Structure formats: C-alpha cells, structure tokens
Amino acid sequence: MKKQSRHYAVSMIVMLSLFIPLMPGQAGQEKPALTVSPLIATQEEWSEIKNRLETAEAQVALTTLQEFTRQHINHAEAYYHLGNLYETQNLIDKAHEAYERAWFLSPKNINIGISLALSKVSLGRLSEAIQIYENVLTQDPLEPRAYFGLGVIAQAVGEWGSALQAYQQAVSLHPGLVDGYNNLGIVLSHLGYHEEAIQAYQIAIDLRPEYAESTLNNLGIVYQEQGEYEKAEQAYTESLLLDNTYLKAYFNLGRLHQEQGHLNKAEKFYRQSLSLDGSFGEAYVGLGGVAIAQKNYDQALQHYSKASQLCPNDAKVFYNLGWIKGVKGDTQGEIQAYQKAVELDQNYARAHMGLGLAYAKQGNKKAALSYYNSLKSLDENLAQNLRSRLQSIP
C-alpha cells in the first residue's frame, strides 16, 4: 500500500556562483555599470566583461548583462549568464526567458540546456523540461545531470520505477553525485527496498558528511519505518548536530517518541519545530495526536483547527478534526469536517463512514444509508461495519 513520503528530496542541482559580492561601499557611493562596447563584442571584450563580473556586486552585474544583451542580441553565453543571475535573485520567469534565448542561439550547449530544463521544472512545465533533458541526452548520452533531472520529474509525478532507473543511471555515470544518492534512497525506501535505501543514504553521507543533515534525517525515517528506534534517534540527532535549526529533524524526533508512547518528549520536539516555523502545520497535527492520546480533547481540537488552516488540502487533517468534534458532541461540525475530507479525497473511505455515523446520530438515516452505499465500492469491510452499526440504531 502506498504511503505519503516523508523523505525530503533535493530538487535542483546547485549552480556555481558567477561572481563574488564586494563589501558594501560607503553610504551614498554609487556603483557605475561596467562599460561594454556596442553591437559586436570580440572574445577578448567578453572575457574582460566576465572577469569583471566576478568581483561585481549583484545589481551591478545584472545591469551590465542586461545592457550587454540589449546591444548583443545573439550572444548566447551572455544570455546564459544573465539567466544565472536572475536565478540567484529568484526571478525564475526572467531566468527562464534568458535561458530560452540562450538555448535558441546555442542548442548544442549542454550547460544551457540543463539550466533551461531546471527553470522549466521550477515553473511546473514538466513535459517541456523532459524534452530538453532528452535533447541533451541525444547529444551526450553520458550526461548525469540530465538523468538526475528526469529522475526528479518522475519522482514528482509518482512514476517511482522511472525515477529509480534515472537516479541509478545518474550515480553510475557520476559516482560523486551526492544529491543523486539522496534521492535514490528516497525512491528505494518508497518502493520497500529499505536496506538498499540505507546503503544509498550512507554513500551520500560519506561523500558530503559536513552537509548531510537532510540525508541523515531521511536515514532516520527508514530506520524508524523498520522499527529500529535507537538508530533512528541517532540519525535525527546527528542531523541536528550539523544544523540545530533543521526543523524536520525535530519534527521526526517528535514522531519517533510519539510512536513509542513517550508523549511528553514528543510534545517537546513538536514545539521545538514550531519555534523555528510557526506555520509548520504537520507539527500541529503531531501535537493534536499527542493530545488525543492524553484524552485532552479540548487541546486536540485547538491543534487540529490550527492544522486545518495551515494544511487546507490535507484530507486526513479534516477527518481527525471531524472525529474530535464528534467526541465533543458537535455533530454538525463533525459533518462539515468529514465533508471537507471527502471533497479533498473522494475515495477516503473512513470519512464516508464517519459521515454515515454522524448523520445517523442526527436521525437522518436516509443520508446515513447513502454513505453506506458509497462506501461499498471503497471498502467492503468498513461498509459492513457501518451497516451493522446503523442496524443497531433505532
């Protein structure tokens, strides 16, 4: 049975910085744009521009390249560097436009192709990104970044088998591709190959131990899924030793202790994750679960109400919110929450059952039976459970 992945993937290959920022100048001191020659730039002139860009401040470099590309509209490399600068400022639309122009001018430049595909992924234009990656591979069948990119896309759309093949190809071509091993571990774990996932994560950690907090967190998840709680706790703790602001490790420590019944410790770690990001809805879900285990339904209602605001597309949150409202005697609120869960996931069998029972409590047996009928095609066992409970109601 598929379950939602709680592993954290690396979605983009980090590009090398194009320049080193200068220290801020004196107050009021203006930084002039670098001068470029008009219309046609010789290789020497372009080399001079690139050398000076390396020590230019970001805005100066950006202004210079914008002016340069206005004067030299057929200079592919300039558009490529302009795209990189836009990307460093998170101007993805403009970066994509610059990469598109560079690729049009130089369709055999693999670096440009990879950057263009990455920008398309960021914009959600996945089918176009696939075409670019495939184009790159026709030119160089041994380009690991293209296989990595195809793996990211396949993983994003749930094509786990294709993602597995792509990541395996990427790391076989580039054995030092840390992000490839990290993402390979995620896919292997999702497919149930836990030992192989652990091996992939260990390789990633060995390759880059000083920046392995995400991979250590993922490794902890695999150990936890296998019931190896001590190893899981060690991995999460090592992740926090590398980065004590890594909220996902705090959250997973909360999950780990909650799973073992250590409710006070679980609550502590959930709250630590919220201290880092108060909008982290999953932590409120965790706190709600702790409160339910403690039979503190008032507290659980507060936590799940907050979670429903922060996770408005999570059907399970609304199901749990409905259950708590039912426990507290708010049948109409219970129905509304279950209805929202079904709206988000029409095949959510337990939400259908909850609606059937809630309507039965209201004495609306006709509505209750309608959910029994819908439940029969979703989960026959739950449907029979609902039927027997409805029969016991006068």
CATH number at residue 379: 1.25.40.10
Round to the nearest angstrom and report the end-to-end CA distance of the chain. Answer: 37
Are 302 and 339 part of one and the same domain?
Answer: no
Q: Is the CB of residue 183 less than 8 Å from the CB of residue 203?
A: no
**Contact present, 319 and 341 (Cβ < 8 Å):** yes
Task: Flag whether pLDDT at 26 surpasses 50.
Answer: no
pLDDT higher at 46 or 307:
307
Q: What is the pLDDT of residue 40?
A: 54
Going by C-beta distance under 8 Å and a sequence separation of 6 or more, which residues neighbour residue 43?
Answer: none
Domain for residue 110, yes or no? no
Q: Are residues 306 and 342 in the same domain?
A: no
Q: Would you say residue 167 lies in a domain?
A: no
Domain span holding position 385 = 333-394
Give the CA distances from residue 247 to residues 236, 244, 357, in Å, rounded to whole numbers and listed in that order: 11, 8, 38
**200/183 Cα distance (integer angstroms):** 9
User: Residue type at 133?
Assistant: Y
How many CA atoms lie less than 13 Å away from 24 in the CB half-sphere?
A: 3
Minimal CA–CA distance to 18: which of 63, 61, 76? 61
Residue 370, in any domain of the structure: yes
Q: How many domains does the chain have?
A: 2
Please report whether residue 265 resides in a domain.
yes
Residue located via tokens 């259908």: 352
One domain, residues 301 and 349: no
Find out whether 245 and 274 touch, Cβ atoms under 8 Å: no
* Residue 17 pLDDT class (50, 70, 90 cuts): very low
And the tokens for 135?
């184009």
Domain boundary among the residues 256, 282, 312 is at: 312
Inter-residue contact 123 to 93 (CB < 8 Å): yes
pLDDT in tens, 282-327: 999 999 999 999 999 999 999 999 999 999 999 999 999 999 999 9
11 or 133, higher pLDDT: 133
73 in a structural domain = no
What is each CA distance from 258 to 218, 264, 266, 292, 353, in whole angstroms? 18, 8, 5, 11, 27
- At residue 282's C-alpha, the angle toward residues 264 and 231, to 5°, is 60
Boundary (domain end) residue, out of 253, 279, 312: 312
pLDDT tens profile 330-370: 999 999 999 999 999 999 999 999 999 999 988 898 899 89
**293 and 340 assigned to the same domain:** no
Helices (H) and strands (E) in the chain, counts: 21, 0
Answer whether residue 359 is part of any domain. Answer: yes
Instruction: Specify whether 258 is located in the same domain as 302.
Output: yes
Domain boundary among 283, 312, 341: 312
Whether residue 323 is contained in a domain is answered as no
pLDDT tens per residue, range 204-237: 999 999 989 999 999 999 999 999 999 999 999 9
Classify residue 363: in a domain, yes or no. yes
* Same domain assignment for residues 261 and 290: yes
- CA distances, 101 to each of 76, 81, 98, 121 (Å): 7, 12, 5, 17
